[in-house]
Amino acid sequence: MTEVDHVARNQELWNNQAPEYVAPGERAWVSEPSWGIFAVPERELSMLPNDLRSLRTLELGCGTAYVSAWMARRGATATGIDLSPRQLETARRLQQLHQLPFELVNGNCEELPFADEQFDFAISEYGAAIWCRPERWLREAFRVVKPGGALHFLGCSPWVHVCSPVSGELPLVERLEHSYFDQYRNDWGPQGVEFNLPVSAWFRLFREIGWQVVDYLEPRPAAPSAERRHYATFDWAYRYPAEQVWKLARPR
Ligand SMILES: C[S@@+](CC[C@H](N)C(=O)[O-])C[C@H]1O[C@@H](n2cnc3c(N)ncnc32)[C@H](O)[C@@H]1O
């Protein structure tokens, strides 16, 4: 396997998974913004700028592009980019259904096909945030965001790798199964390749690239329960951080 085989594998994964994301995408297009696998409301996380009018926005790994739809409806000139043509097919169909056109691009967030300093605001929810090499996509995002612009992203907490059972059988367990410090490339076999870092390494990377950290959040579900969402139960995520949000600024 080559160093970059994750891109081809993740593209195949997401083309195959696209049918399962049609119904959630349809619901999200008509919902109020909420975030992550536990649908934490926007009022708790403030993932979107207060005023999107006149902003040019970029969603990195947009999937069915419901985040871009939320931003376009609030006045942004939105662009979404995604590796999977099949995910973008759903996004395009929903654009037509809701008569909400915005730019959709098929491409890889590790090599963005955009000129420098084009966007006021970039965002990723479980897109580039987890599926791309951090040192690549964060440099690319920095390049295309204007000085004075911002990047917000949400993905798995570094705790997710640590508490993923060695057997591969999710959901997360209340045991330390993997090294916290050594995490980087998390290969889930047929479930693709994700990336994550210890918190201190995220900080170092942001500093090297030039991003300024504005905030770090650990979204928490409203209440515990045995119900499972993707890789974790509400019980687990109520006790430990399953997700992280980074809010970054490109200094002027
Ligand atoms: C979980 S979806 C994110 C969209 C949406 N927020 C959601 O949670 O359903 C992950 C998306 O990331 C995309 N993706 C994975 N690797 C990518 C890459 N290198 N460049 C662009 N998009 C990528 C996949 O094609 C997929 O549509």
What local confidence, expressed as pLDDT, does residue 226 receive? 98
What local confidence, expressed as pLDDT, does residue 81 receive? 99
> Residue 153 C-alpha to ligand 1 middle, in angstroms?
12
What local confidence, expressed as pLDDT, does residue 4 receive? 65
What local confidence, expressed as pLDDT, does residue 223 receive? 97
Which residue has a Cα nearest atom 10 of ligand 1? 127
Which residue has a Cα nearest atom 17 of ligand 1? 83
Taking each helix axis from N to C end, the angle separating 85-98 and 5-17, rounded to the nearest 10 degrees, works out to 40
CB 92 within 8 A of CB 74: no
Each residue's pLDDT, cut to its tens digit, for the chain (252 residues) gives 456 699 999 999 999 999 999 999 999 999 999 999 999 999 999 999 999 999 999 999 999 999 999 999 999 999 999 999 999 999 999 999 999 999 999 999 999 999 999 999 999 999 999 999 999 999 999 999 999 999 999 999 999 999 999 998 999 999 999 999 999 999 988 899 999 999 999 999 999 999 999 999 999 999 999 999 999 999 999 999 999 999 999 999
Looking only at the bridges linking them, the beta strands covering 56-60 and 119-125 are: parallel
> Residue 131 C-alpha to ligand 1 middle, in angstroms?
7
What local confidence, expressed as pLDDT, does residue 185 receive? 97
- Residue in 12, 16, 83 to alter for ligand 1 test, most ligand atoms within 8 A of Cβ: 83
What local confidence, expressed as pLDDT, does residue 168 receive? 87
- Distance from the Cα of residue 43 to its chain's centroid: 19
Euclidean distance between CA atoms 212 and 109, whole angstroms: 20
Euclidean distance between CA atoms 86 and 13, whole angstroms: 11
Q: Which residues pair with 78 in a beta bridge?
A: 57
- Read off the tokens for 172: 């997360």
Q: Which residues line ligand 1 (CB under 6 A)?
A: 7, 10, 14, 21, 61-63, 67, 81-84, 87, 108-110, 125-128, 131-132
Euclidean distance between CA atoms 24 and 28, whole angstroms: 6
What local confidence, expressed as pLDDT, does residue 3 receive? 61
